[in-house]
Each structure stands twice: as structure tokens, then as C-alpha cells.
Structure 1
């Protein structure tokens, strides 16, 4: 069987032509449907958007569920991203891996995909830090350059992003 890898440009054209369904993302040249969000996922997305915005809005732009261009073949849509300021830098182009300070994935049914597909792509693209909110185990998994070694924090443990090491946040609901 021959597999075709979509480059980002062809992926965008297929989407604009209506060939692709809504709520998909491009991972290493393959199109993946995004799972519907459950109520716990939504709770955490709302909570983390507020907490990260309150804590870091003067130093970073907190955005939710927008495409993040990682390479010619990958454009995931993470749940949250802390992007470099100023906001105007995104007026003429989409955010790229070089703009990301922190990527957050909220995972329940997507945990295996987030770890096995997305995490290596984030690492390869040079994303400095990724958080996976593991809803099933109620832990925060953090991964940071250079090795992306997993560090786990139980619910109730405040955590600081590496880019703001002295500013812990309450990531749990």
C-alpha cells in the first residue's frame, strides 16, 4: 500500500476546497480527525486558559486551539500555546514552532496519540516545553528540551513553566 504524505500547503488547499472534514490536524503528513471534547476536557481548557492568561499575559500570548506550524508536514492544533509577544508578529503569518514557549495538550482519549505522535513532533521542532494534562491519571506530565524526559506532577502540585521558573500555577481543577 502506498501512503501519501500531505505537505501543509496541500493540506490547506484540501481543507479550503471542502475535501477534509472540520476538526482535523496534520501530523507528519497524515490527516487525523480530532476527538470531540468531553466535559472534563472542556473544564480544564477553560481553567488553564484563565490561569495561564492571568499569570503570563504581560510576557506571553495565551492562545487556544489554533494551528501551530511545526514543519512542512506538521501543523497540529494543541489545546493551548504560550506564544512570544507581540501579538502583531502573527498579523501576516501563522505561529510557528519558534514562537512557542509552551504547548499544552489536555488528554483523555487522545493520550496515546499525544505521547506517541505529537510529542516527538514537538521535540523535533524545538518546542522548549510540552505539558500533557493526563486526565485519566490526574497528573501533569511535563517534557522539556533537550531530552524531553517525562516529569510527573500529581494533582495539587503547582508547576512553573521552564520559561517562567519562579511563577508556579495551579494547573488542576
Structure 2
């Protein structure tokens, strides 16, 4: 891999650097590599993607693990995102613009906790992405992973997120479109 340039990498560099591992992100000009995925993370992503695919209206597309260019030095990769369908530029597309993204979803892992709770939501909000969900592994009464979904909506005057709900067992909301997700399905391998 090439040496990090003075001032860090740029969003455009991400498509040109040879030999990058899959799912490399760019935050504040630094390359961010993903640690091996946990079973909880994989199941939560699959559940969210599938349920969102069924619920999304035709003018929106549900996408997994694609980057969003937030600025010259920021190109994070939400675990799942919902974008305007007309933002599809073809089979070589590697990311989206923030104005095309309606919802960004992060499933928190041990290695991504600070990024998913603090850095990414702050950057998504500053870029104007209207909705953000953060999903974490809580613990059920039987000790099994029980997902908790934190749902946020952009407050446009301050460009910050306001929490609109904390969902245990079932994520049911009408924005950005009606969706009802049984979060306990993560433990049932759905």
C-alpha cells in the first residue's frame, strides 16, 4: 500500500489506491479497515437490509456496505443505507452523495463503537442525511444478544440528530417510510 500523503487521503483516492481491503472507509483523511465481523453484526445487517427492502417505496433503494462521500476527507461506509433510486449511476458506482441518502444505519461492533456512536453520526448530520439508525447488541433476560435500535432524525437548524425512539424487540416507525422490524429475529437466525 502507498504511503499516506501529507494532509491525508481524499475521498477520490479511495477508488484509486491499489490493494485496499474490502470495506475500507475514509474518516478525517485516514483509512479505516474493518475487523472481522461478528455473527450478531452479520445477522443484524441481513435482517435490516431484508426488512427495509420489503418496506421501501419504489423511489428508494436499499444498499448494503456502500460509501457516502461526505467531503474531501470523509467517505464512511454505513452498514446499510437507503438512497434515492435515481441516484444509481450504473454498475461501476462505488458510493453515494449525502444528498441522495435518506437513511444511514450503523450496527455497532466492539472495534467500531466510537465511530458508530460519535464520529459517523456527527458527520452524517453535518452532511444533511435526514435519518440515522444505530443498532447495538443489548442483552436479553436469557443472556442472548437482544438488539436495541436507536432512531434519530436530523434537526435541520443545528444539523444535529435528535433521538426519536429507542426500540427494544421491535423497531416500528413511519419515517423515512413505514417499517416494522422484529429485532428479536436476529437471535433466531432470520
User: What TM-score comes out, normalization by structure 1 length?
Assistant: 0.84
Q: CA deviation at 1:118?
A: 0.8
Corresponding position of 2:181: 170
Residue ranges of structure 1 left out of the alignment (5+ in a row): none
Tell me the C-alpha RMSD between the 2 structures.
2.3
**Partner residue of 1:142?**
151
Structure 1 71/161 Cα, relative in aligned 2: closer, same or farther at 3 Å? farther
Which is strand-richer, 1 or 2? 2
Deviation at 1:10, TM superposition (A): 2.8
- Give the C-alpha shift of residue 144 in structure 1: 1.5
TM-score, normalised to structure 2's length?
0.77
The Cα shift of 1:57 comes to 4.8
Question: Which residue number corresponds to residue 158 of structure 1?
Answer: 171
2-structure distance, mates of 1:129, 1:114: 14
Quick one: distance in 2 between partners of 1:51 and 1:77? 20
Instruction: Give unmatched runs, 5+ long, in structure 2.
Output: 1-5, 140-146, 186-190
Give the number of aligned pairs: 166
Aligned counterparts of 2:167 and 2:127: Cα–Cα separation in 1: 28
Give 2:115's aligned residue: 113
How far apart, in 2, do the equivalents of 1:139 and 1:158 lie? 9
Aligned to 1:44: 44
